[in-house]
């Protein structure tokens, strides 16, 4: 986060942060005023506008090499609220905005409200919730205090849950309720933790708290409660039980949003909590325990994915596994003897971005396969690669990124993590990373070999797949590959506005 001096005034371009949050809100209000039949057209204008704002903020921070801040109402913390943007937040903001825009292109075929003679529920809900998710994610990226982040996280949750049950089927309603229960449990734990911290330090502002926080029972209890709550929302093993049915049962566009975007919000809050609000408070034992949870997610998620018969369920359990990689950065960054703080943080966030682009492409590809065949049974995918070559190529590229093969973004992310395992002499995490890549390659190979094999019966396509949907999926897959090239470009922007390694970790 920015230095303490960032609390003193709004920076020159700080108003851009407000615009990034306000644009989706304007879109939601216009949708209700004008009616659901206009929701898609409003989203088609405001979501790309939000992407333009995100790119402008990114360029401002990259060129100036300083963070941005905006003091809401000119009331400074601890009484007021400050929006702050550093390298991590703007990189995530741009990535999520790109993913959301391409998902919006893909979703046009399934949620086109203009073709209906009367206003229908599902398109209205989808486009409004998509704009709400965009605004909530921006609020998470820029929120400068823990309570603002709580509000943003709740907005994200209540925008995401309806996407699970858009079709109204009993099984999707059940999955949505399970998701809601896990999310509410996480919210309660997080809110109790923030109350304890406010009682101890009289502020929830992240910069002020980082200067005041001390290792004491109330602080440790608060941090534990908040972390467990965020783990539940992120679906980190073993709190992942809500994710596979929710993601696998939702429409393809909704699954892509949930897996690529929504779970990244709570993960980003974990990073903010431990690396910014409470720097140095994470003990080696606690960081190793978080690493064990991540490793368990990688191994168990991949093994269960290998056993799936449906393509969307395979991808959903793959998400459980890929989430585990995000939490390997904690034991690697908290090593007190061989600190690799900056590279580990960069590797972890690059893994989050690469997973978002690759997994969105894979869910979209799976949705197109289902639309074309009327099912997604892996054993009956024979011949689909010839019928939908662009779709399966997108699936394959996304799979390469998840495996971590060069030159994809997944390779660069895992390479940075592997370098940290060597530098910190924590070789056991390297074994987990490599084993996870091998397991991932196994199920990606199974799907692609089935798809490229001959069909058991003459292949009959139930419906034609729009080319623009295939292009949207392929675009995200290609982006996951091109992310590996950021090593030649703006990878250092992730460290703009970041503090040096916490001195408490050096003790």
- If pLDDT is split at 50, 70 and 90, which confidence band does 109 have? confident
Residue 155 counted as domain residue: no
For the stretch 453-479, pLDDT in tens is 887 777 777 878 889 999 999 999 999
Handedness of CA 175, 176, 182, 185 (dihedral sign): negative
Please compute the mean of the pLDDT values over residues 169-187 and round it to a whole number.
89
Enter the DSSP assignment of 489: T
Reported as a single tens digit per residue, the pLDDT across 189-210 is: 999 999 999 988 888 888 888 8
pLDDT of residue 340: 53
Average pLDDT rounded to a whole number, residues 173-201: 91
Question: Which residues does 306 contact at the CB level (< 8 Å), separation at least 6?
Answer: 439, 442, 443, 446
Q: Please give the pLDDT value at position 485.
A: 79
Residue, of 457 and 317, whose pLDDT is higher: 317
Higher per-residue pLDDT: 2 or 127: 127
pLDDT of the residue at 156: 93
* Amino acid 111: pLDDT: 84
The answer to whether 66 and 154 have CB atoms below 8 angstroms apart is no
Asked, for residue 316, whether it belongs to a domain, the answer is yes
Among 369, 322, 380, 370, smallest CA distance to 348 is for: 322
> How many domains are contained in the chain?
1
Looking at the domain assignment, is residue 463 inside a domain?
yes
Residues near 72 by beta carbon (within 8 Å), at least 6 away in sequence: 18, 80, 81, 82, 83
pLDDT at res. 491: 59
Q: What is the mean pLDDT of residues 485-506?
A: 61
Q: Is residue 477 part of a domain?
A: yes
pLDDT tens sequence across 224-242: 999 999 999 998 988 888 8
Establish if 35 belongs to a structural domain. Answer: no
Rounded CA gap, 333 and 255, in Å?
Answer: 31
pLDDT score of 9: 75
Query: Per residue in 323-369, pLDDT tens?
Result: 999 999 888 887 654 445 677 888 888 899 999 999 999 999 999 99
What would the mean pLDDT of 212-228 be, rounded to a whole number?
90
For residue 108, give the 3-state DSSP assignment: coil
Residue 12 lies in a domain: no
Tell me: pLDDT of 46 over 60: yes
Contact present, 233 and 153 (Cβ < 8 Å): yes
What average pLDDT does the structure give for the chain?
86
Least confident window among 122-126, 158-162, 319-323, 491-495: 491-495
The Cα-based distances of 19 to 25, 29, 50, 207, 303 in angstroms read 10, 15, 8, 23, 44
What is the reported pLDDT for 357? 93
The structure's pTM equals 0.91
Higher-confidence residue of 166 and 445: namely 445
Q: Give the residue-averaged pLDDT of 83-102.
A: 91
Choose the weakest-confidence range: 28-42, 58-72, 323-337. Answer: 323-337
> Mean pLDDT over residues 397-425, rounded?
89
- Domain for residue 95, yes or no? no
- Provide the domain limits for residue 452: 284-507
> pLDDT band at residue 399, thresholds of 50, 70 and 90?
very high
pLDDT at 507: 40
349, part of any domain: yes
């Amino acid at each position: 986060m920015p230095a303490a001096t960032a609390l003193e005034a709004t920076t020159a371009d700080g108003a851009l942060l407000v615009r990034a949050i306000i644009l989706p809100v304007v879109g939601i209000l216009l949708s209700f005023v004008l009616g659901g039949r206009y929701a898609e057209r409003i989203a088609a204008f405001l979501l790309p506008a939000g992407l333009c704002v995100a790119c402008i903020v990114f360029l401002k921070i990259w060129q100036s090499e300083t963070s941005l801040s905006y003091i809401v109402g000119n009331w400074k913390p601890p009484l007021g609220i400050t929006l702050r943007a550093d390298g991590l937040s703007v990189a995530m903001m741009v990535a999520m905005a790109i993913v959301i825009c391409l998902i919006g292109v893909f979703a046009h075929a399934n949620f086109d409200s203009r073709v209906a003679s009367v206003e229908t529920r599902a398109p209205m809900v989808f486009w409004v919730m998509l704009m709400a998710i965009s605004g909530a994610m921006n609020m998470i990226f820029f929120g400068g205090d823990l309570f603002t982040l709580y509000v943003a996280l709740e907005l994200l949750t209540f925008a995401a849950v309806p996407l699970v049950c858009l079709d109204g089927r009993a099984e999707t309603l059940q999955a949505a309720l399970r998701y809601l229960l896990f999310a509410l449990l996480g919210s309660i734990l997080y809110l109790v933790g923030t109350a304890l911290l406010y009682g101890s330090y009289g502020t929830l502002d992240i910069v002020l708290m980082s200067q005041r926080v001390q290792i004491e029972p109330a602080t440790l209890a608060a941090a534990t409660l908040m972390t467990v709550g965020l783990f539940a929302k992120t679906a980190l093993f073993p709190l992942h039980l809500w994710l596979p049915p929710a993601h696998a049962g939702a429409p393809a566009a909704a699954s892509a949003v949930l897996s690529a975007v929504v779970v990244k919000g709570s993960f980003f809050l974990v990073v903010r909590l431990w690396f910014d609000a409470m720097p140095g408070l994470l003990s080696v034992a606690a960081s190793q325990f978080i690493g064990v949870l991540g490793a368990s997610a990688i191994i168990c998620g991949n093994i269960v994915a290998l056993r799936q018969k449906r393509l969307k369920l395979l991808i959903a359990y793959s998400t459980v596994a890929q989430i585990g990689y995000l939490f390997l950065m904690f034991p690697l960054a908290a090593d007190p003897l061989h600190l690799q703080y900056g590279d580990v943080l960069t590797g972890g966030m690059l893994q989050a971005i690469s997973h978002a682009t690759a997994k969105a492409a894979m869910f979209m590809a799976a949705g197109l396969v289902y639309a074309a065949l009327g099912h997604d049974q892996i054993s009956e995918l024979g011949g689909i690669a010839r019928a939908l070559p662009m779709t399966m190529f997108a699936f394959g590229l996304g799979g390469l990124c998840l495996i971590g093969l060069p030159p994809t973004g997944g390779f660069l992310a895992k390479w940075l993590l592997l370098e940290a395992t060597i530098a910190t002499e924590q070789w056991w995490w390297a074994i987990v990373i490599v084993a996870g890549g091998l397991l991932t390659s196994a199920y990606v190979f199974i799907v692609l070999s089935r798809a490229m094999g001959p069909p058991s019966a003459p292949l009959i396509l139930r419906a034609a797949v729009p080319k623009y949907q295939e292009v949207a999926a392929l675009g995200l897959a290609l982006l996951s590959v091109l992310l590996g090239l950021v090593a030649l470009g703006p990878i250092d922007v992730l460290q703009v506005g970041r503090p040096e390694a916490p001195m408490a970790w050096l003790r």
